């Protein structure tokens, strides 16, 4: 395993992070049903591989992901850097409408009282005395940044949280948040099919921040052809993936042909190549990936040792671009 500092903090995190969105289940991951014992086994496997960074959020399964992760962490807490999020809740106490999911109305609320209650609720659900890293899940355009960050800084001083990141944001948001305290990193989507957030890299350089990637496998669409043979329930995040439709689908065949050929050259899986391509995009990149099986976790860690040539990296990137720009 490889490690890096979480921005300018004293927190050391593994380059691969264990994402717990999927274990929340619900309509979003309709074929996912795991219990705390299964998650505990996954945490043990992660620890054996050197993965110490775990990410969840209150809204993943409307509290379910945090609840079962908290149970699984019992007796294991000292091995992991636990990251969760704030600013999205279903308490009905105000804010801006975000979405309806699993019978709940989720609101975006960055008021000081709301983010504090988010943290307290997460601590209770996970049975923890502190959260290592807290991500502002969505960015508000109505609540002043200084109000949100002032409360987060108070909670750092109180020992409830140790570090702050922001997500689904812009470099301008990072600059604004940084005026009121240290921002250790960002959590943004980046993949072969979606590279818009490359614009963030200079800002991360300026602040020595970590760029944590989610969606590098596009919820499965970049794992290979077998994904396109599956069907998913209504509301499942994978059901509406545009990559499964034409004209994008035809272009994925060219990409997968290339990945299959290169997998033999590099003695790795085609998924490893996608992940290695992602890791090569930025030095301080952190690869956040969801796991339901220890074998998948083991395979992902192999990507850290895959050294793709600049030529092959450019070829993979070119074919990924052809998919996202297909019309």
| Domain annotation for the chain: domains and CATH numbers | 3-243+282-306 (3.20.20.100)
Considering the candidates 53, 60, 200, 248, report the single residue annotated as catalytic. 60
Distances from the Cα of 304 to the Cα of 11, 140, 298, angstroms: 20, 35, 11
Cα separation, 84 vs 122, in Å, equals 8
Q: How many CB atoms lie under 10 A from the CB of residue 29?
A: 25
- Judge whether 14 and 53 are in contact, CB under 8 Å: yes
Phi and psi torsions of 251, nearest 5°: -70, -25
Phi and psi torsions of 118, nearest 5°: -55, -45
Q: What pLDDT score does 223 carry?
A: 85
Tokens 């054996």 appear where?
A: 48
Beta strands at 88-89 and 96-101: parallel, antiparallel or unpaired: unpaired
Q: What pLDDT score does 32 carry?
A: 62
Query: Which residues, in sequence order, are CB contacts of 209 under 8 Å at separation 6+?
Result: 7, 8, 174, 183, 184, 185, 186, 203, 284
List per-residue pLDDT tens for the chain, 327 residues long: 999 999 999 999 999 999 998 887 666 555 566 889 999 999 999 999 999 999 999 999 999 999 999 999 999 999 999 999 999 999 999 999 999 988 899 999 999 999 999 999 999 999 999 999 999 999 999 999 999 999 999 999 999 999 999 999 999 999 999 999 999 999 999 999 999 899 999 999 999 999 999 999 988 889 888 877 767 666 666 666 777 778 888 889 999 999 999 999 999 999 999 999 999 999 999 999 998 889 999 999 999 999 999 999 999 999 999 999 986
- Judge whether 109 and 96 are in contact, CB under 8 Å: yes
Q: What is the DSSP letter of 168?
A: S
60 given a catalytic annotation:
yes
Phi and psi torsions of 91, nearest 5°: -80, -15
């Amino acid at each position: 395993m490889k490690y890096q500092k979480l921005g300018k903090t004293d927190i050391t995190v593994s380059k691969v992070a264990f994402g717990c969105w999927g274990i929340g289940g619900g309509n979003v991951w309709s074929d996912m049903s795991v219990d705390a014992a299964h998650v505990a086994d996954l945490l043990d496997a992660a620890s054996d591989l050197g993965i110490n960074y775990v990410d969840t959020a209150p809204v993943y399964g409307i509290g379910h992901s945090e609840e079962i992760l908290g149970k699984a962490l019992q007796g294991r807490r000292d091995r992991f850097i636990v990251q969760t999020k704030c600013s999205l809740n279903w308490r009905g106490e105000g804010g801006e409408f975000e979405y309806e999911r699993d019978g709940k109305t989720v609101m975006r609320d960055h008021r000081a009282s709301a983010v504090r209650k988010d943290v307290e609720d997460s601590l209770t659900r996970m049975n923890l005395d502190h959260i290592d890293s807290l991500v502002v899940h969505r960015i508000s355009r109505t609540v002043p940044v200084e109000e949100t960050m002032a409360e987060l800084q108070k909670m750092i001083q109180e020992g409830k949280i140790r570090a702050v990141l922001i997500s689904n944001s812009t470099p301008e948001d990072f600059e604004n948040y940084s005026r009121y305290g240290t921002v250790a990193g960002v959590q943004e989507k980046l993949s072969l099919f979606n590279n818009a957030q490359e614009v963030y890299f200079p800002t991360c350089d300026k602040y020595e921040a970590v760029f944590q990637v989610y969606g590098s496998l596009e919820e499965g669409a970049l794992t290979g052809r077998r994904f396109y043979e599956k069907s998913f329930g209504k509301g499942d995040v994978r059901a509406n993936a545009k990559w499964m439709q034409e004209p994008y689908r035809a272009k994925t065949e060219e990409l997968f042909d290339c990945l299959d050929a290169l997998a033999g050259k590099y003695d790795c899986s085609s998924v490893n190549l996608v992940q290695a391509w992602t890791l090569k995009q930025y030095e301080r990149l952190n690869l956040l990936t969801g796991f339901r099986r220890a074998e998948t976790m083991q395979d992902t860690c192999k990507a850290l040792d895959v050294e793709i040539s600049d030529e092959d990296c450019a070829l993979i990137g070119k074919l990924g671009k052809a998919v996202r720009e297909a019309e």
